[in-house]
């Protein structure tokens, strides 16, 4: 007989899909998904955005480690 410990992992996922232009109409459509499989793993980002009108150069993604 073999005994195996069963552990459950719940991934963390957030989705951004509603865009607001601070009172202005915005042509941006699409979504951004951020997924982290475990609390210790790196996050993966999946983006599908349209309507940026050539201004995608103004956007950036930065990574910063935090310690508790």
pLDDT band at 43 (very low <50, low <70, confident <90, very high): confident
Has residue 47 got a pLDDT over 70? Answer: yes
How much is the pLDDT for 31?
94
Domain that holds residue 20: 12-53
Mean pLDDT value across residues 17-37:
88
Q: Cβ(31)–Cβ(16) under 8 Å?
A: yes
Q: Provide the number of structural domains found in the chain.
A: 1
Sign of CA pseudo-dihedral 24, 27, 30, 34? negative
How much is the pLDDT for 17?
92
How much is the pLDDT for 34?
92
Residue 1 lies in a domain: no
Residue 63 lies in a domain: no
Residue 46 lies in a domain: yes
Has residue 63 got a pLDDT over 90? Answer: no
How much is the pLDDT for 56?
67
- CA count, 13 A, side-chain hemisphere, 30: 11
Q: Cβ(50)–Cβ(29) under 8 Å?
A: yes
């Amino acid at each position: 007989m073999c005994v195996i410990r069963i552990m459950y992992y719940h991934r963390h996922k957030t989705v951004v899909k509603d865009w607001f232009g601070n009172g202005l109409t915005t042509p941006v459509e699409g979504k951004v998904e951020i997924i982290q499989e475990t609390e210790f793993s790196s996050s993966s980002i999946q983006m599908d955005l349209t309507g940026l009108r050539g201004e995608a150069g103004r956007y950036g993604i930065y990574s910063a480690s935090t310690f508790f």
